[in-house]
């Protein structure tokens, strides 16, 4: 019982009951006041009308005619309904249904006093509160009154109705609270069971949803979206961990094998230095993997937004193409650039240079001899800039396009090429940081990789050097000699 009272549904129901009672009181109070005022004014008008009628009878028929008129009216009415009393100057009763003049001044006016109702000589019918009107007819005093108990049944019905409304409102509120609590507890129990299963490791469980778009259903949909993201991240971390262990095992095993061979065979100095150089290369490969992962972590956390400056994309692309031209010539590949000189856009020049280097390096790996690689920089609406790298290599199968941006993923075509499967992952992360995404479009043959840099508040979080000129990006050298 205590648990039910402490539940949020019952608390809400009790709050609604109190609110309803408050509204009922606020509605009844002015209604009661207005009703009382109307009744009081109506009684006063009736008394004044009766007094005026009796005054007219006195003026027309004299005191005897008025006495006869009052006696006739008393015989016609229900006892206590109308109060009439005519006295002389000494307040001795002449006609009426009061045995004596009540404790009321003789001067004209309206008064509210207790009076003893009863015919003179027949006994008293009880004391009650009445509203009376006093008038003077020459030397005579006239008192005209009405019993206040006439409207008592109406007042009782008003209070009975108000009490009934309070009772119905309270019972209805409690019933609604109980029903609401049961409905909520049913939904909450299903949510609790699902979350309990997730806590115990079953990440595939999801909260139940319904067709009706209520608040709990909206909450369930939001939580399910969060669970999808958590499951994706957990699987991503698991896959990344497995991939790191797999990709680091080979260079570390080779490094150990070389060092063990040097310690065992103890070759000549020249052979020793060759093995040392190979060991250094293995260590550099491991360092490059960790550097790439650290950069991806910084990008995912949004920490690199603080490095946004105004970047001339044409100059950045030209620098990258110029740096890669010797490598392209050695492979017999034509590398060109085309730009319509768009305006500078906010961005991180180091990350953009790394992303462009990865795209060009990726194109160089798969473009055949005498092939073509075209880098283009184009203006787009709203001040956006589009960077594209197009080659005429084998391209990427449609089924692999969503996978190639995953970390450490390497397709069948890349098994014999150097790298750790982080290049396009970094490009995708850089594009996302700049409010865009990496689009991979088939050229049949070849691949068209596109990044669109948007201009907006989300992309502009620059430091004071927002208009600083862009110099040659340092990471390009590392990207050429050691692609990731």
Question: Which tokens hold the place of 246?
Answer: 């797999």
Select 302-481's CATH number: 3.30.1490.100, 2.30.40.10, 3.30.70.100, 3.30.565.10: 3.30.565.10
pLDDT value, residue 261: 83
- Please report the pLDDT score of residue 318 as a whole number: 92
The structure tokens listed for 175 are: 């019933």
State residue 362's pLDDT score.
86
What is the reported pTM? 0.46
Q: Would you list the domain boundaries of the chain?
A: 2-153, 215-298, 302-481
Q: Which two tokens stand for residue 443?
A: 């050229």
Angle between helical axes of 313-330 and 349-366 (0-180°, round to 10): 30
Task: Tell me the CA distances in angstroms from 234 to 116, 198, 239, 298, 301, one per residue in order.
Answer: 93, 12, 8, 18, 16
Q: CA-to-CA distance for 17 and 177, rounded, in angstroms?
A: 10
> Which two tokens mark 454?
């948007």
**pLDDT at res. 292:** 67
**Cα–Cα dist 225/217, whole Å:** 12
Give the per-residue pLDDT at 309. Answer: 84
What string of DSSP letters covers 339-360?
Answer: E--PPPEEE-HHHHHHHHHHHH
Is the fold of 2-153 the same as that of 302-481?
Answer: no
Token duo for residue 430 = 């850089």
What digits encode the pLDDT tens for the residues 241-293? 666 666 677 778 878 887 888 888 888 888 888 888 888 887 887 787 777 66
CATH topology of domain 215-298: Helix Hairpins (1.10.287)
User: Which residues, given as ranges, of the chain have pLDDT below 70?
Assistant: 1-10, 77-81, 117-129, 149-151, 236, 239-247, 292-293, 295-307, 407-421, 455-484
Beta strand ranges found along 52-165 (DSSP E):
82-87, 93-96, 109-116, 127-137, 140-147
Q: For 427-462, how does the pLDDT look when each residue is reduced to its tens digit (9 = 90+)?
A: 888 888 888 888 888 887 888 899 988 765 444 443
Query: CATH for 2-153?
Result: 3.30.450
Write down the pLDDT at residue 179.
81
pLDDT at residue number 47? 83
């Amino acid at each position: 019982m205590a648990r039910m009272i402490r539940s949020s549904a019952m608390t809400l129901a009790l709050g609604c009951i109190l609110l309803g009672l408050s509204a009922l009181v606020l509605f009844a109070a002015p209604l009661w006041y207005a009703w009382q005022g109307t009744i009081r004014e109506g009684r006063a008008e009736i008394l004044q009308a009766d007094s005026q009628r009796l005054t007219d009878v006195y003026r027309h028929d004299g005191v005897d005619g008025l006495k006869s008129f009052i006696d006739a009216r008393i015989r016609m009415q229900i006892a206590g309904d109308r109060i009439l009393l005519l006295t002389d100057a000494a307040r001795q009763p002449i006609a009426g249904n009061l045995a004596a003049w009540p404790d009321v001044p003789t001067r004209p006016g309206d008064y509210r006093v207790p009076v003893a109702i009863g015919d003179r000589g027949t006994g008293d019918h009880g004391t009650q509160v009445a509203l009376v009107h006093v008038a003077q007819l020459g030397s005579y005093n006239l008192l005209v009154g009405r019993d206040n108990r006439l409207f008592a049944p109406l007042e009782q019905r008003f209070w009975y109705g108000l009490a009934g409304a309070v009772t119905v409102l309270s019972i209805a509120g409690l019933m609604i609270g109980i029903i609401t609590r049961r409905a909520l507890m049913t939904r909450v129990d299903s949510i609790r069971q699902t979350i309990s299963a997730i806590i115990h490791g079953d990440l595939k469980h999801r909260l139940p949803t319904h067709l009706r778009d209520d608040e709990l259903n909206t909450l369930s949909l939001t939580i399910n979206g969060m669970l999808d993201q958590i499951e994706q991240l957990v699987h991503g971390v698991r896959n990344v961990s497995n991939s790191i262990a797999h990709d680091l095992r080979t260079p570390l095993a080779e490094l150990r094998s070389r060092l063990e061979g040097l310690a065992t065979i103890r070759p000549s100095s020249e052979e020793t230095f060759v093995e040392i150089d190979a060991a250094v290369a293995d260590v550099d490969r491991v360092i490059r993997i960790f550097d790439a992962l650290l950069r991806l972590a910084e990008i995912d956390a949004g920490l690199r937004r603080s490095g946004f400056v105004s970047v001339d994309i044409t100059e950045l692309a030209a620098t990258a193409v110029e740096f890669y031209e010797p490598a392209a010539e050695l492979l017999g590949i034509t590398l060109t650039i085309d730009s319509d000189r768009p305006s500078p856009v906010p961005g991180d020049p180091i990350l953009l240079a790394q992303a462009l280097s990865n795209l060009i390096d990726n194109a160089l790996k798969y473009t055949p001899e005498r092939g073509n690689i075209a880098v283009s920089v184009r203006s787009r609406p709203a001040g956006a800039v589009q960077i594209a790298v197009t080659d005429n290599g084998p391209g990427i199968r449609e089924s692999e396009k969503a996978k190639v941006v995953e970390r450490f993923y390497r397709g069948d075509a890349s098994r014999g090429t150097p790298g750790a499967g982080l290049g396009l992952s970094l490009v995708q992360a850089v594009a996302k940081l700049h409010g865009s995404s990496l689009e991979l479009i088939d050229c049949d043959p070849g691949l068209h990789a596109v990044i669109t840099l948007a201009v907006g508040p989300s992309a502009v979080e620059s430091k004071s050097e927002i208009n600083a000129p862009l110099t040659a990006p340092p990471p390009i050298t590392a990207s050429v000699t050691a692609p990731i």
